[in-house]
Amino acid sequence: MESRVDNYSPEQGGSKGELQWGACLKDLEGTLNPQSFSSWFLPLQYCSDENDILTLAAPNKFHIEFIEYNYWKTLAPIIEKYFPANRKVQFIINRNLQPQAPKIETEAADSPVHSPSLSLKKVMTEDYYSTFNSRYTFEEFVEGPHNQFAKVAASSVSENPGRSYNPLFIYGGTGLGKTHLLQAIGNRVRVRDPYSRVMYVSVDTFMRDFIDAIKNNSKNDFSMLYRQADILLVDDVQFLRLREGTQEQFFHIFNDLLQRDKQIVITSDRPPKELEGLEERLVSRFLSGLMVDVQAPDLESRIAILQHKILTENLDIPYEVVEFVAQNINSNIRELEGALTTLLARSSLSHTDISLGLAKSVLMDIKGVKRNRIISIDTVQNVVTRYYKVSPHEIIGKGRRKEVAQARQVMMYLCRNLCDASLKTIGLRLGGRDHTTIMYGVREIGKRCREDNGFKKEIDLITQQIEFEGD
């Protein structure tokens, strides 16, 4: 077979730079196996050699990243040898170059390591690996009892990828900050190392790309791309379905990364066990790391989140309005932000100040009906004690009898969900218990509701009764 290195041979003429590049190729050909050499180096094109910078063109971004990751230690000393005056190498993309069908073996990984003083000018990395929303940082993430564990775990992972909790699985309802946390990890890691291979992908995109890859016969490129990540952030894994091998592919990528101590963080709207249509082995992989949940924020946290926004965006909104919005939008943080945005828009369009009256009318539009029925802790206590046949004295006391303990936790859970009381307030009403005890109780009941349908029906029944009596 005629070597394409001959394109750069003296017989073909060519500039001094082209000849030097030809010499590099000859050396590479002698170093690498023929398959790798023709897949990765023959498609490269010498462009120029000016101002300390050697510029080479490659067919696509993937090609550049692949060389950089797998062959840089082989390539750098050879370039140094033939381009001694150069200090940097830069790759550009020339889509007219024909990539060879890439083969995945990379013998270069084991080749003797030189420590090349030549630096690679990384012009491509940024748009190749994910860019993150600059608003989604840990600094902008307001902490409260509802998301504290998740924030601590995410932040620990970003400080110590692959070596703290792996995989980290964050779950919780919509609009509660999962994507924010995931991107905060990406942002933090980027600050520490601008060139780290952090990949963010939503499962939607993952599946779409995978199907494209099958169509284009580039399944190997696809999985190589993900396997090169140092940190893989996967958003909304609940959408992963048994479809055309996506799960299979995902599992292998996942396993491969974990085996090499690469960090994986996953978000989902439900815990792993409740993911439908997922293979057992994938679920147990998810379970092998740390799971943390984000819950709906309590009133204090909702106020804190609004105030944080007001402060960072320098808005002028009276406290009573903040309180009113926080009291009335209790589903999720996205809606809370939405209400604030609508309020600001309405005020500026109608040239009126932001007042309680304006807030009321905006919220009425958003929510359709006015919801200001307030359920008191007393009502919850009355119904719960009656239902479980325990006395008010017992429920706030220290007794550990099974029925009493259960009634107590149910009361914690319902006070939290229906009365919108803070953990602290509930604790005080329950005989001065600590807020962590309340948080534990709320979580336990939430968990049982998810796991045990019969129990959930029981809770729904009590809830209906409370709502009836609360009127």
Q: Which residues bind Mg ion (CB under 5 A)?
A: 178-179
Q: Which is nearer to ligand ADP, 9 or 148 (CB)?
A: 148
Shortest Å, Cβ 158 to ligand ADP: 16
Q: How deeply is 463 buried, as exposed, middle or buried, from its count of CB atoms within 10 A (0-12, 13-18, 19+)? A: middle
Give the residue at shortest CB distance from Mg ion. Answer: 179
Q: Which is nearer to Mg ion, 178 or 309 (CB)?
A: 178
For residue 104, the 8-state DSSP code is -
Q: Which is nearer to ligand ADP, 8 or 136 (CB)?
A: 136
CA distance 213 to 223: 9
Q: Are 432 and 461 in contact (CB under 8 A)?
A: no
Q: Are 210 and 242 in contact (CB under 8 A)?
A: no
Q: Which is nearer to Mg ion, 43 or 271 (CB)?
A: 271
Shortest Å, Cβ 305 to ligand ADP: 5
Give the residue at shortest CB distance from ligand ADP. Answer: 177
Pick one of ligand ADP, Mg ion, none as the site partner of residue 142 (Cβ within 5 to 8 A by kind): ligand ADP
Q: Which is nearer to ligand ADP, 33 or 137 (CB)?
A: 137
Q: What 3-state class would DSSP assign to 198?
A: strand
Q: Report phi then psi at 99, rounded to 5.
A: -75, 145
Q: Which is nearer to ligand ADP, 334 or 360 (CB)?
A: 334
Shortest Å, Cβ 375 to ligand ADP: 25
Shortest Å, Cβ 157 to ligand ADP: 16
For residue 416, the 8-state DSSP code is I
Q: Which is nearer to ligand ADP, 140 or 323 (CB)?
A: 140
Pick one of ligand ADP, Mg ion, none as the site partner of residue 334 (Cβ within 5 to 8 A by kind): ligand ADP
Pick one of ligand ADP, Mg ion, none as the site partner of residue 28 (Cβ within 5 to 8 A by kind): none
Shortest Å, Cβ 374 to Mg ion: 31
What CA–CA distances, in Å, run from 276 to 76, 94, 248?
Answer: 48, 44, 15
Q: What 3-state class would DSSP assign to 134?
A: coil
Site residues for ligand ADP per CB under 6 A: 136, 140-142, 147, 174-180, 305, 333-334, 337
Pick one of ligand ADP, Mg ion, none as the site partner of residue 147 (Cβ within 5 to 8 A by kind): ligand ADP
What CA–CA distances, in Å, run from 302 to 147, 207, 328?
Answer: 12, 35, 10
CA distance 177 to 294: 7
DSSP sequence for 206-273: HHHHHHHHHHTT-HHHHHHHHHT-SEEEEE-GGG--S-TTHHHHHHHHHHHHHHTT-EEEEEESS-GG
Q: Which is nearer to Mg ion, 179 or 228 (CB)?
A: 179
Shortest Å, Cβ 235 to ligand ADP: 7
Shortest Å, Cβ 145 to ligand ADP: 11
CA distance 235 to 184: 13
Shortest Å, Cβ 307 to ligand ADP: 11
DSSP sequence for 26-55: HHHHHHS-HHHIIIIITT-EEEEEETTEEE
Q: What 3-state class would DSSP assign to 277?
A: coil
Pick one of ligand ADP, Mg ion, none as the site partner of residue 8 (Cβ within 5 to 8 A by kind): none
CA distance 231 to 227: 10
Pick one of Mg ion, ligand ADP, none as the site partner of residue 180 (Cβ within 5 to 8 A by kind): ligand ADP
